[in-house]
Amino acid sequence: MRVLEARKILTIREVAEELKCSKAHVSKILNGKVPGLPRLDHVALGRRKLVRSDWLVEWIESNRTRC
């Protein structure tokens, strides 16, 4: 994960790039509005939401499924 190695704090846009989805979908994940997925931990600074890269890695690992 190229972005995660370079930064410690990620914006919604950077999380969306990493997950290969839209910013709107990331917002839904942050708010716990995606059925079957737990809420992604984040820090809210006013309207801005930030995610620590280690939180994202942990969330991805805990939600992995085997194909």
Token reading at 39: 């809420």
Helix 12-19 × helix 53-62 angle, to 10°: 40
| pTM of the entire predicted model | 0.84
- Asked, for residue 67, whether it belongs to a domain, the answer is no
State how far the Cα of 35 lies from the Cα of 44, in Å rounded to an integer.
22
- What range does the domain containing 12 cover? 2-62
Overall number of domains in the chain: 1
Per-residue pLDDT tens digits for 22-50: 999 999 999 999 999 999 999 999 999 99
Q: Greater confidence, 1 or 61?
A: 61
- Asked, for residue 49, whether it belongs to a domain, the answer is yes
- Asked, for residue 53, whether it belongs to a domain, the answer is yes
User: Residue 15: its pLDDT value, please?
Assistant: 97
Kindly state the DSSP code that residue 40 receives in the 8-state scheme: P
